[in-house]
Structure 1
Amino acid sequence: MKSMVIGGIVLIIALIAGTYIVAGDAFNSDDYINSLTMLGAIAIITITVFVALKYINQIKNDTASGELAEENWDGIGEYKNPIPTGWGLAFIGTIVWMFWYWSVGYPTNGFSQIGQWNEETLEYNKKFASKWENPSEETLTAMGESIYLVQCAPCHGVDAEGIGGKAQNLTHRMSKESVEYVIKNGANNLKSDYPGGMPPMMLTEEADIQAVASYVAGGFKGEQPAAYGVCAGCHGADGKGIAYVGPSIVEYTDALVTSVLNNGKKGAIGMMPSFKGRLNPTQEKALATYIRSLGE
């Protein structure tokens, strides 16, 4: 046993020395976390080696003893021995360390790049909201154009005409094909703002579908088809929408643009992903203002 203890001490010293050789340059800084890490490594190495030596010695010299439990299998059972004291203390110590780490240990009181970034972002957003609290229409349009070119142009095109029909043409409200698609397939993309959604085939006659689609896509010009009365129940007789019931189908209102940005939109030409969290309310309003200016 004496030779095993000496060998264990030599092994501990060798492992600690190896750890210091590999990572020793980190302990010259003022960061106390590195020192705590080294102390933890020494403790783990020491405990591991001596626990291993203890049980190796037990395997070599100890014999089973104590009160045998009643449960057994083919005469093989377990003794009612208490847990090893060292194991129990190590288990409790681990729990204590866990609470220390969560409450006062690293990284809760240490420097965090993510924390610094969050603080700077919140401060910038605060300044942004204060600076643009009451922007003019001209300012909103200019701001919206910048946002559009970065966030929207890759799909809708710099000219907002949809890049060959692969995305919605934003220079006018909607195409006849888009209206037909919604009538036939329904729309439930804007659930957070218009919870009722729109069921498919509110109009069943093809002639009615064509008449309503032409009227809506044409900007509500000319004689209103009788079949549009089905649509007016949610979108209003003038098509400007009803809050929490149906969106405007006349123009890109602030509410509609914000809802599409937050929910995404599925239509005849594909799926637009959600942009929720990318823009603040002022930027969303600016984008809606710029999109409306395209139709003018």
Structure 2
Amino acid sequence: MKSMVIGGIILIIALLAGTYFAAGDAFNGDDYINSLTMLGAVAIITITVFVALKYVNQMKNDTASGELAEEKWDGIGEYKNPIPTGWGLAFIGTILWMFWYFTVGYPINGFSQIGQWNEETLEYNAKFEKKWENPSEETLKAMGQSLFLVQCAPCHGVDGEGIAGKAQDLTKRMSKDQIVHVIKNGSNYLASSYPGGMPPMMLTEEAEINQVAEYIANGFKGEQPASYAVCAGCHGADGEGMPFVAPNIRAYDDALVMAVLKDGKKGNIGSMPSFSGRLNETQEKALASYIRSLGE
């Protein structure tokens, strides 16, 4: 036992020396919180080592004793021994220390660097929102360009042309292939903004589908085909959509861009994940403004 105690003392000294070597510079100065931390480290290391030595010694030398309980599991019974006194005192002491720490040692309403950082961040965000509450179109476009280069360009390319078909070409609203795909398969991926979705259309003749697709992809130029009336019921005769019914299929308006950012999108060339929560409303409008400028 004597050799175990000596070994334990040596271990405690070694652990404390290692702790001080790793973080000793934090304990210099007048910050009593760091001193409390070091004191806690000393207490934890000392208690842990000696408790471990105590039970190692018991396992080597003690024998089970006491009154057996009546209950048995697979022939194995338990003794009705009380919990170790030291364990019980340590448990109660930990609870008392917790209350002391939160009320006196480190009050929860005391100064906190994290709390200060959060307050300053909220204050800055409030100033930012007020400053850009009503930005001009030119300001939105400039802000949107920087957002686009960070958030969108990795997939759509810095020019917005979709990196050779890997993503949507944002320099034009829709391609003929996309329109044909939506007519035949429907689209229900903007549920929060357009809850009705779009089922596969009533257009079944390939000639009518191609006529409508070419008309929309060409920017609604030329003579409007009669079969477009099926689309106009939701998207409007001018293709500018209806709130909560159908999106704008003529241009990237604010409502459409914000809906795609919130819900993501799935089309004929793949899926775009949701960007919900990444941008505030002003940033989303700025991104929409810049995307519209790509086709100008």
Q: TM-score, normalised by structure 2?
A: 0.80
Quote how far apart the aligned CAs of 1:129 are.
1.8
138-147 or 256-265, which moves further after superposition?
138-147
Quote how far apart the aligned CAs of 1:255 are.
0.5
Task: Determine helix, strand or coil for the equivalent of 2:130.
Answer: helix
Task: Determine helix, strand or coil for the equivalent of 2:13.
Answer: helix
Residue type of the partner of 2:66?
Answer: G
Q: Distance in 2 between matches of 1:193 and 1:52?
A: 62
Quote how far apart the aligned CAs of 1:247 are.
0.7
- Structure 2: gaps of 5 or more residues: none
Is 1:172 the counterpart of 2:172? The answer is: yes
194-203 or 79-88, which moves further after superposition?
194-203
Is 1:256 the counterpart of 2:260? The answer is: no
Quote how far apart the aligned CAs of 1:233 are.
3.3
In structure 2, do the counterparts of structure 1 residues 203 and 85 end up closer, same or farther at CA, with 3 Å as the change threshold?
farther
- Equivalence for 2:17: 18
Q: Distance in 2 between matches of 1:18 and 1:139?
A: 59
In structure 2, do the counterparts of structure 1 residues 56 and 159 end up closer, same or farther at CA, with 3 Å as the change threshold?
closer
5 Å matches for 1:104-119? Answer: 111-112=112-113, 118-119=118-119
- Equivalence for 2:291: 291
Q: Does the 8 Å contact 1:143/1:283 carry over to 2?
A: yes
Q: Does the 8 Å contact 1:12/1:46 carry over to 2?
A: no
- Equivalence for 1:245: 245
Residue type of the partner of 1:208?
Answer: E
Q: Distance in 1 between matches of 2:75 and 2:59?
A: 22
Task: Determine helix, strand or coil for the equivalent of 1:152.
Answer: helix
5 Å matches for 1:1-296? Answer: 3=2, 7=6, 10-11=9-10, 14-15=13-14, 18-19=17-18, 21-22=20-21, 23-56=23-56, 58-59=58-59, 62-72=62-72, 77-97=77-97, 111-112=112-113, 118-296=118-296
In structure 2, do the counterparts of structure 1 residues 266 and 41 end up closer, same or farther at CA, with 3 Å as the change threshold?
same
Residue type of the partner of 1:18?
Answer: A
Quote how far apart the aligned CAs of 1:216 are.
1.6
Q: Does the 8 Å contact 1:264/1:274 carry over to 2?
A: yes
1:175-218 deviation per Cα after TM superposition (whole angstroms, max 9, x unaligned):
11111121223222222212222233553332232122122212
Q: Does the 8 Å contact 1:264/1:273 carry over to 2?
A: yes
In structure 2, do the counterparts of structure 1 residues 62 and 257 end up closer, same or farther at CA, with 3 Å as the change threshold?
closer
Task: Determine helix, strand or coil for the equivalent of 1:151.
Answer: helix
Task: Determine helix, strand or coil for the equivalent of 1:123.
Answer: helix
Residue type of the partner of 1:48?
Answer: T
Q: Distance in 2 between matches of 1:105 and 1:210?
A: 76
Q: Distance in 2 between matches of 1:74 and 1:163?
A: 69
Q: Does the 8 Å contact 1:8/1:53 carry over to 2?
A: no
In structure 2, do the counterparts of structure 1 residues 27 and 227 end up closer, same or farther at CA, with 3 Å as the change threshold?
same
In structure 2, do the counterparts of structure 1 residues 227 and 96 end up closer, same or farther at CA, with 3 Å as the change threshold?
farther
Q: Distance in 1 between matches of 2:35 and 2:159?
A: 60
In structure 2, do the counterparts of structure 1 residues 96 and 263 end up closer, same or farther at CA, with 3 Å as the change threshold?
farther
Task: Determine helix, strand or coil for the equivalent of 2:70.
Answer: strand
Q: Distance in 2 between matches of 1:102 and 1:200?
A: 62
Quote how far apart the aligned CAs of 1:4 are.
6.7
Task: Determine helix, strand or coil for the equivalent of 2:190.
Answer: coil
Q: Does the 8 Å contact 1:8/1:50 carry over to 2?
A: no
Q: Distance in 1 between matches of 2:196 and 2:102?
A: 45
Task: Determine helix, strand or coil for the equivalent of 2:249.
Answer: coil
- Structure 1: gaps of 5 or more residues: none
In structure 2, do the counterparts of structure 1 residues 193 and 59 end up closer, same or farther at CA, with 3 Å as the change threshold?
same
Percent identity reads 73
